[in-house]
Structure 1
């Protein structure tokens, strides 16, 4: 089971695309409403990048949450994440703050409210009960689907821009983006930059000679201090473009700066 948000009164419900697995769609979707009614649902459309799925049920005059005023909802705003529970009359509620207002290529907000497979697709609300976004992007490689203190919710403005296409039956694939082929961890206590915790096989980074435990300090002339600055440095780049990376590599003599050139490949990244 997963969570969902009634988005339009005539039976359109938003949920997490990831949680709408092929098995669920094959076996049929059953939607349980707040009042205990159970209705069959149809998986109408989706957006892979934003991890949003649209389900339609045959119902009218459903209650719809008021939308939050986006400019008024800033960093540090207290929020609540509402999700499904085995007890239909008592949904789960996880409290937190809005820790960032522009994540996932500016399509989502970030919160420290605990997020997991169960409440993915649920409503992220202000304490006035206004809808900020829909919980999304719980990755399959996280431990038991836990957010690890960082969760994301697709902004309502993004959803509004896509709603017409999803209603028309579109399943929108994630666009291909420039891809390095590294997985970044936290910073390194000895060197400013981000620690590379994994280098993917046959990726541009591996082909260029970048290694696990290198510390990435510069990408295309842009100083790298965290994962977000790495994403921002990659954003204007094009697939096939050659880019220069500077890393610090630990040797017997101490940390040494090394420079690599690699050609960016494209990969669809939700």
Structure 2
């Protein structure tokens, strides 16, 4: 099996990951990445040591989201939203949600309901489910949701008619705004740390666009199937290309493979 590891800062090291929780508490290291392996296993890999945990919780594992303090992570498995501590303990099912993301301070999760594609909020312990903030039960529904780091705006990819488009709204569901045009599917959007723009997937390539719908451009368009981008920080994006994990600068330069294994790796997420 071929296994390569390069740190997010470009420092190479040797060694395979170690399975298990490894110590108490829910803190995470300063340089790390989460991803799904073969769609069944949640992995956290630490740099430069290679120590990590694995947590196999079910099929279709995807859409990982770190809490603002990096102590917990949301993920989806088999169309159900879960929460787990950063060291692999404390698995919690957020019943009634198919997907979700943290608000700016981690006190709330904004998610998509398992029935009817409604946007609702919930406390991280599963209590305090709100009423419907937005009703996306039209056309192709809502696939993904992302809250900006400032905790002021929600983004969804939504298909009322035609193609899947990126929309933004206020936290209360008001002021719906279409960011991308109704000419081609635009999916898997992630806010930039300053809330001014998005990275997203289109036609197996990675694009960027400002939150007001201007300055659209392409960041990664090689022969590989590229997607699932997310910002590690203001200057670095992590993403998937042909089942391996890559990083690049926010302007698309410096594209570098950082994790390469025999498994198919998806949905990388990391925060500096």
TM-score range, shorter chain: under 0.3
Going by fraction, where is strand more abundant, 1 or 2? 2
Going by fraction, where is helix more abundant, 1 or 2? 1
Larger Rg: 1
- Using the size of structure 1 for normalisation, the TM-score is 0.25
